[in-house]
Amino acid sequence: MIADPVILDNPDPALRDAIRDPLVAFNEAQIGKRTDMGLLAIPLTETETGKVIGGLWGRTGFAQLFTELLFVPESLRGQHVGEKLMAMAEEEARRRGCVGAWVDTFSFQALGFYQKLGYSIFGQIEDYPPGHQRYFLSKKL
């Protein structure tokens, strides 16, 4: 028997692990233990203060690079900083054995930027957030 499910508005972060761990065990039973999973971070740091002002955060796994976060401050845009961060991440992903990369972005963010780098749309959600779209893009490495 199980207790009646309840919605938790502010759950303890440890609850995520309790839900994730059996899912990971199930997945590993199907495809084997993941040995290629790894985080990847490339911070943009102010030289004077050491403050992180942007950068790239992602991870590799299943032979794919996922760029979760990419932020370039307005003052650095148009100077190929974003392109450099993506190139560095893709090169590291290749070194880690990745054969592809993917990213998601909103219609008000960087769709054209990713397309310019060779990413192609493989999916989208309309009206997410309302009045906009969320795009999913991928690229072979």
Give mean pLDDT, residues 120-135.
98
pLDDT at 27 over 80: yes
Question: Which residue range is the domain that position 78 belongs to?
Answer: 35-140
CA distance 124 to 115: 14
Q: What is the pLDDT of residue 24?
A: 86
Residue 27 in any domain: the answer is: no
Residue 126 in any domain: the answer is: yes
**Mean residue pLDDT across the chain:** 95
Residue 99 in any domain: the answer is: yes
Each residue of 90-123: pLDDT tens digit? 999 999 999 999 999 999 999 999 999 999 999 9
What CATH number is attached to the domain comprising 100?
Answer: 3.40.630.30
Residue 60 in any domain: the answer is: yes
Residue 120 in any domain: the answer is: yes
pLDDT at 3 over 80: yes
Whether the Cβ atoms of residue 34 and residue 41 lie closer than 8 Å to each other:
no
Residue 87 in any domain: the answer is: yes
Q: What is the pLDDT of residue 90?
A: 98
Whether the Cβ atoms of residue 98 and residue 62 lie closer than 8 Å to each other:
no
Residue 23 in any domain: the answer is: no
Q: In 3D, which of 114, 55, 62, 63 has the Cα closest to residue 85?
A: 55
State which amino acid sits at residue 130: P
Total domains in the chain come to 1
pLDDT at 64 over 80: yes
Residue 1 in any domain: the answer is: no
Each residue of 8-26: pLDDT tens digit? 999 998 999 999 899 988 9
Whether the Cβ atoms of residue 91 and residue 58 lie closer than 8 Å to each other:
no
Helix (H) or strand (E) holding 23: helix 14-31
